[in-house]
Structures are given as C-alpha cells and as structure tokens.
C-alpha cells in the first residue's frame, strides 16, 4: 500500500528487547507531541505523561513492578516475570507512564494516547511495546511509588509503553478479517 500512515501501522509490532542507546532530544520532543496530540473525551485532557529516561528511575520502576506483583500473591504472574529474567520494561531507554484522573473515559483516552505514541515511535524508526504490568507498582496502597514517579494527586495508572531502538525483530501479528463485521 502507498499510504505512509497505514504502512507505519501495519509494520509495527511489540518488541521486548532494546538497545541501551538513549533517545535524542528531537525523538523525545516528537513523542511528547504525539502524546499531547491524542484526542480525549470532551477534550478534557486529564491524562499526564511521565517520561522515565533516567537509568536509576527505570530500574526502580522495574523493581516496584516486580514487588507489586509479588505482594499481590499472584505467584504464576511473578514466575512469568522471573522466566523473562525479571524484565518488565525490557531494557528500553524510555518508559512512558500514562496516568489520569479516574473516570469513565480515562482508560479509553489512555488507550488512544498509547497507540499514538506507538505509531509515532515506529514512524521515526523506533520500536515499542505497550505495558499493562506497571499497574502492579501503582495500585492501591502504592502512594509512595506514585509520588516517586510524579503522579499528580488523585491520578491513577492507566497504561505504559517502552520505547527505544529494538534489539530484536518480530513480524507484525496477522489479523483475521472475520473479526470485522460489515453491515
């Protein structure tokens, strides 16, 4: 297909291994713009985007997620993380946490934003993987982690994304056109 946007969407896949190379300032600015350009219900723009680039902060985030999973008592989930070598953010040089005021549209708005970021990253030659696991670090009783990672008062974790130069390749998933219902 000759459409640049559609080609970008169709070529994107979830990458779970990253080179340690930091993103440059222009890449970070591009991703910020993609995040902020995301539409929100009734244009409320209540989500916040926490760009975690510091190595120590990313390591603390990784540990907080693992600690949260272990504290939840979900041993199968904890074992899955152990089998991945304790990797949750996969060594990406950037993790973007999206948080928002709780509400009816917060998860939808965050889903739109994380997809904007994923497509924007692919458009500039970066890879990404969308992450739900960081929820374990920011759930009930995790106020200290929320403060450490700059959550505004009353905001809750929605979703996150790791971004960087992939150290692995993966073909985009195949789709089943029977999942589309035409009327």
pLDDT tens digits along 163-183: 999 998 888 888 898 999 999
Question: In the structure, what pLDDT confidence band is assigned to residue 123 with cuts at 50, 70 and 90?
Answer: very high
CB 47 within 8 A of CB 110: yes
Element (H, E) at 61: helix 55-72
Q: Residues 36-65: pLDDT tens digits?
A: 999 999 888 999 999 999 999 999 999 999
Q: Does residue 3 lie within any of the structural domains?
A: no
Q: Residues 75-101: pLDDT tens digits?
A: 888 888 888 888 899 999 999 999 999
Q: What percentage of the chain has pLDDT greater than the value 90?
A: 70
Write out the two tokens for 178: 């029977």
Q: Is 11 helix (H, G, I), strand (E, B) or coil?
A: helix
Q: Does residue 128 lie within any of the structural domains?
A: yes
Report the number of distinct structural domains present in the chain.
1
pLDDT for the residue 138: 95
Q: Does residue 183 lie within any of the structural domains?
A: no
Instruction: Determine the Cα–Cα distance for residues 18 and 21; give it in Å rounded to an integer.
Output: 8
State the CATH number of the domain containing residue 28.
Answer: 3.40.109.10
Q: Does residue 172 lie within any of the structural domains?
A: no
CB burial class (10 A; 0-12, 13-18, 19+) of residue 119? Answer: middle
Which residues are CB-neighbours of 56 under 8 A, at least 6 positions away? none
Over residues 102-114, the mean pLDDT reads 96
More confident residue, 79 or 103: 103
pLDDT of 153 over the 60 cut: yes
More confident residue, 3 or 146: 146
Over residues 123-142, the mean pLDDT reads 93
Q: Does residue 145 lie within any of the structural domains?
A: yes
CB 54 within 8 A of CB 31: no
Question: In the structure, what pLDDT confidence band is assigned to residue 1 with cuts at 50, 70 and 90?
Answer: low
pTM attached to this predicted model:
0.93
Which residues are CB-neighbours of 62 under 8 A, at least 6 positions away? 86, 87, 88, 89
pLDDT of 102 over the 80 cut: yes
Over residues 130-142, the mean pLDDT reads 91
Q: Does residue 74 lie within any of the structural domains?
A: yes
Q: Does residue 130 lie within any of the structural domains?
A: yes
- The mean of the pLDDT values for the chain is 92
Q: What range does the domain containing 121 cover?
A: 15-167
Question: In the structure, what pLDDT confidence band is assigned to residue 70 with cuts at 50, 70 and 90?
Answer: confident
Q: Does residue 47 lie within any of the structural domains?
A: yes
């Amino acid at each position: 297909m000759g459409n640049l946007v559609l080609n970008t969407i169709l070529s994107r896949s979830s990458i779970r291994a990253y080179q340690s190379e930091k993103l440059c300032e222009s890449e970070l600015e591009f991703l910020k713009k993609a995040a902020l350009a995301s539409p929100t219900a009734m244009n409320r723009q209540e989500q916040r985007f926490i760009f975690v680039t510091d190595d120590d902060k990313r390591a603390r985030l990784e540990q907080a997620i693992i600690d949260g999973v272990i504290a939840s008592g979900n041993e199968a989930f904890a074992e899955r993380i152990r089998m991945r070598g304790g990797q949750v953010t996969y060594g990406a040089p950037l993790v973007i946490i999206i948080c928002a005021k709780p509400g009816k549209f917060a998860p939808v708005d965050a889903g739109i934003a994380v997809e904007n970021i994923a497509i924007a990253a692919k458009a500039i030659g970066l890879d990404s993987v969308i992450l739900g696991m960081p929820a374990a670090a920011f759930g009930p009783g995790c106020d200290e982690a929320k403060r450490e990672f700059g959550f505004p008062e009353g905001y809750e974790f929605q979703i996150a994304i790791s971004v960087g130069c992939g150290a692995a390749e993966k073909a985009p998933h195949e789709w089943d056109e029977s999942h589309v219902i035409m009327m």
